[in-house]
Structure 1
Amino acid sequence: MSAMSATSVTARRLPCRTLLLALLTSLLLPTFALSIQQPTNGAHHNKQYRFAVLLAGDHRTPRIDGFKQEMARHGDQYGVHHVYTFFNAEGNSSQLLPLARQIVASHPDVAIAAGGIEADALKLATDEAPLPVVFLFSASCVERGQIESIRHPGGNLTGIDSNDTVLTEKRLWYLHKMLPGIKHVTCFSIPTIGSSAESAVLAVEAGKKLGLEVRIIDLESKDELKSKAQQLVRRDNTDAILLFPCGPIHQVFGEALAPLATELGIPIFGDFDDSLAKGAFAHYGSLQSADGAQAARLAIKILHGASPADIPVEIPQHYELVLNRSMIERLKLNLPPQIWRLADRIVDAAPAF
C-alpha cells in the first residue's frame, strides 16, 4: 500500500468530531500565521512621527530635501505621517545651541542635525536629556566627540560622516592634475571648527608631496572673509583656491569670494556640490541629496526601535568628480583631455554674478 493510501485509512478511523476540529484548524492556522508574521505595517499604520530639524542656514536645504524624500517613501510603505519643525539659525551660529535646547524641550521623536556644527550643538543640548539624533552629515565625527566610534556610536547620535576632511588630499590632487601649472594654493580655515583645522593640516602635508605651496588663512568668522577678501586674495599670491568643508565659509564664499576670484582669473575648487552654482569650476565629493536620503534610512531604524548607540555611522555611498563647464570657459582654463574623461558629470552652472 502506498504512503497516500495508509494516511487515508488512518483518517477514516478518526471520530467525526476530531475530523471537524482538524479541518477548522487547517483553515484558520494560515490566517493566524499571516497575522503574526506581518505585524509591522499594522503596528505603524496611521502613526505620526515628529522630527525637529536644526540647521545653520538655508544652504543646508539639499540634504534636508533628500531626507524628506526618502522619509516620504517610508510613509507611503507603512502608512505613517511625518511632521517637521525647523529651527533655523539663519547663518548665526551662536544661535545653534539655544535652538538645540528648544528642540530638546519640544520632545520630538527624532532630532535631525543638518550638518556638523548642528550635531555639535545637539550633542551638548542632549547630554543631560538624551534624545535620538541623526546628523545628515558631519566631518570627523569621532575626533570632535560626537560619537565613540564609527561601528558603535555609543551615545544618542548617529548619521553620515561625510569623510570631507579625508577628501582634502584627494581634492588637492585633482586640482593639481587639472591645473598642472599652479604653484600657490590658498585655503581658508576657521580653526575653532575641528574639521576645518584638520583639513588645513592635511592640505599643507599633501601640498608638500605635490610640490605646491599651500597658504592657510585662518579666520575668526565668515564676516572676516566678507570684509577682508580683497586684502587676502591677490593674483600675485594665489593661483587657485581650495575650499575646505567649513559651513560658515561655504555660506558666504559665493558672494564674498567667488566674484573677486573670477575677476582676478583665479579658479575655485569647491567643497560641496552646490558650490558649482556659486562660482566653483570643479567639485569632488558626495551628492548632498543622496547624503540626506542615506541618513533617512538610519532614522527609519530608530523609528522601528533601534538605538542610535547601536547603529553604525556610515560614509557616503558614492563620490563623484563634477566639472562646471560654464566657469571653465569663463576663466579660460585649459584642462588636460584626461580630466574631461575622468569626470562623472559635466554641468553648466553659471553663477549670478
Structure 2
Amino acid sequence: MSPLVARAQAMKSYRLGYLALLPGEDTTLAKPLLQRLQELGYRKGMNMILEYRSADGRAERLPQLAAELVRAGPDVLIAGYGTLAPKAAIAATSSIPIVFTSVGDPVGAGLIASLSQPGANATGLSAQASDITAKRLQFLADLIPGKKLVAVLGNPDTPYTALALREVTTAAASMGQPLAVFEARTVDQLPTAIHEATISGAVSMLVLEDPVLLGAKQETIELLAKARLPAIYGVRDYVEAGGLVSYGTDQRQMGRRAAEYVDKILKGASPANLPVEQPTKFELVINLKAAKALGLEVPPSLLARADEVIE
C-alpha cells in the first residue's frame, strides 16, 4: 500500500461541494484542482465525497443549485470559474466555508471585504492583474501594427468586464490606439456583435473573458475565423480550440492553488483570515495554424516570448 493511500485511509472523511456555471467544468477547468486534492491525500470513495452541480451555462439556475449543495452539508463549498458561481454560493450560506477559484474582481463584485482580509466565509483566487489587459492590447499591436481600430468584445453584465474595460481604455489612450466596444450578453448576441465589429472597420479583436462567452468559445472562434478577424483571448482554452492567441493567468496553477486553500480550511484555517491570492504566473499561447489561416505572419519577437506555440 502506498503511503499516500495509507494516509488517505487514515484521515477522516470530508464532503466537498462544487458549484459550476459552465458545462463540463469538472473535466476541464476543475481538473487541476481535483488532481491537486488527490495529491494532498483526498480521494473520492475513500475519504472524500464530492457533490458536483453545474448550471450548464444557465446562470439563473445557480441559486437553486447552491441551495442544494448547502443542504448536502459540505465541509467546504468550492465555487467554479467566474464571479456568478461564488456570488450564488455566498448568497446561499454565511457559515459554510467557500473557496472561489477564479474571480476577476472579488472586492468590486462585493464578494469579500478586502484581498488581505476577506472577512467572512469566502476566500480563494483572483484572476485580477492590473496590467494584463494592456499587455493583450500590446500583443495585438505587435501582430497588426499601425494604430488600426481594435474591437473589444465583452459581456457588460459580468463584474470583471467593467474593470477590464477601464484598464483597456486607459491603455489604449496611452498608446494612441483607437478602440470600439461591442457587447454580447448571451450566445445569441455573438454573431451580431462580431458582424458589427467587422463593418466598423476593426482589424482585430480583444475578447474579454467571461463564463457565458467561454461557454461559447467554439462558436466565437468560428465566427471570428469567418469574419477573418484576428483575436486575442484571456484563456488558453480558446487557442487550444483553434483561436489565434491568448494571454492570461495560468488557470491550471490557479486550480491547484485553490485545492491548497481547501486543504488549509479542512485543517482548521478560517477563510476570513486567508488572503485572496492574485495571479503570479501568466502564459502567452500562440496558434500558428490559426495565424496561417488568417494570412498573418507572427513576428519572431512575439514567438520568442510565447510560453507555448501550437503548430
| TM-score for the superposition, normalised by structure 2 | 0.90
Specify the alignment match of 2:269 in structure 1: 306
68-77 vs 131-140, greater mean Cα deviation: 68-77
Q: Offset at 1:331? A: 1.1
Partner of 1:111: 77
> Map of 1:10-49 to 2, 5 A cutoff?
45-49=10-14
Could you tell me how far apart the structure 2 residues matched to 1:278 and 1:182 are? 28
Distance 1:235 1:164 in 2: 32
User: Conserved in 2, the CA contact under 8 Å of 1:189 and 1:196?
Assistant: yes
AA aligned to 1:237 is G
User: Does structure 1 residue 89 correspond to structure 2 residue 88?
Assistant: no
Which AA in structure 2 matches 1:184? L
Output the amino acid matched with 2:92: A
Q: Secondary structure at the match of 1:91?
A: coil
Looking at structure 2, the residues matched to 43 and 177 of structure 1 have their Cα atoms a distance apart, in angstroms, of 50
Structure 1's unaligned 5+ residue stretches are 1-40, 349-353
Deviation at 1:292, TM superposition (A): 0.7
* CA positional deviation for 1:205: 2.0
* Aligned twin of 2:295: 332
Which position in structure 2 is the counterpart of 1:138?
Answer: 103
Relative distance call for 1:86 and 1:106 in structure 2 (3 A) is same
Cross-structure match for 1:319:
282
Identical residues among aligned pairs (%): 28
Contact kept, 8 Å, 1:291 with 1:316, in 2: the verdict is: yes
Q: What secondary structure, in the 3-state scheme, does the structure 1 residue paired with 2:86 have?
A: helix
- 1:89 deviation in Å? 0.3
Report if the CA contact (8 A) 1:185-1:214 is conserved.
Answer: yes
Q: 1:206 to 1:213 in 2, by over 3 A?
A: same
Partner of 1:151: 116
Following TM superposition, by how much is the alpha carbon of 1:162 offset from its aligned partner in structure 2, in angstroms? 1.0
One of 296, 302, 316 as aligned partner of 2:259: 296
Distance 1:170 1:48 in 2: 45
In structure 2, the residue matched to 1:19 is none
- Partner AA of 1:301 in structure 2: K
Aligned to 1:30: none
Give me the whole-angstrom Cα distance separating, in 2, the residues matched to 1:277 and 1:59: 16
Corresponding residue number in structure 2 for 1:233: 197
Q: Any stretches of 5+ residues in structure 2 without a counterpart? A: 1-5
Name the CA shift for 1:180/1:189 in 2 (closer, same or farther; >3 Å).
same
**1:236 shift after superposition:** 5.1
| 2:89 aligned partner | 122
CA deviation after TM superposition for structure 1 residue 65, in Å: 0.4
Amino acid at match of 2:251: Q
Helix, strand or coil: the match of 2:269?
Answer: coil
**In structure 2, do the counterparts of structure 1 residues 193 and 178 end up closer, same or farther at CA, with 3 Å as the change threshold?**
same
Rounded Cα–Cα distance in structure 2 between residues aligned with 1:202 and 1:186:
15
CA shift for structure 1 position 275: 1.0
Distance in 1 (alpha carbons) for counterparts of 2:194 and 2:303: 32
TM-score when scaled to structure 1? 0.80
Question: Structure 1 residues 166, 110: CA separation in 2 closer, same or farther (over 3 Å shift)?
Answer: farther
Q: Report deviation, 1:223.
A: 2.7
Point out the structure with max Rg over C-alpha. Answer: 1
| DSSP-derived class of the 1:234 partner | helix
Q: What residue is the counterpart of 1:25 in the other structure? A: none
CA displacement, residues 188-217 of structure 1 (integer Å, 9 cap, x when unaligned) = 222221101221222222112222221111
**Residue 22 of structure 1 corresponds to which residue in structure 2?**
none
**How many Å apart are 1:250 and its aligned residue?**
1.8
Residue 212 of structure 2 corresponds to residue 252 of structure 1 = no
Question: CA, structure 1 residues 164+119, in 2 after alignment: closer, same or farther (shift >3 Å)?
Answer: farther
Contact residue 7 and residue 41 of structure 2 kept, 8 A: no
Q: Which residue number corresponds to residue 55 of structure 1?
A: 20
User: Which residue in 2 is equivalent to 1:29?
Assistant: none
Structure 2 residue 144 is matched with structure 1 residue 163: no
> 1:1-47: per-residue Cα shift (whole Å, max 9, x none)?
xxxxxxxxxxxxxxxxxxxxxxxxxxxxxxxxxxxxxxxx9898242
CA apart distance, 1:139: 0.6
Cα gap change, 1:277 to 1:42, in 2 (>3 Å): closer
Contact conserved, 1:67 with 1:296, CA < 8 A, in 2? Answer: yes
Q: Which residue of 1 aligns with 2:172?
A: 207
Contact 1:133 1:156 in 2 (8 A): yes
User: Partner of 1:283 in structure 2?
Assistant: 246
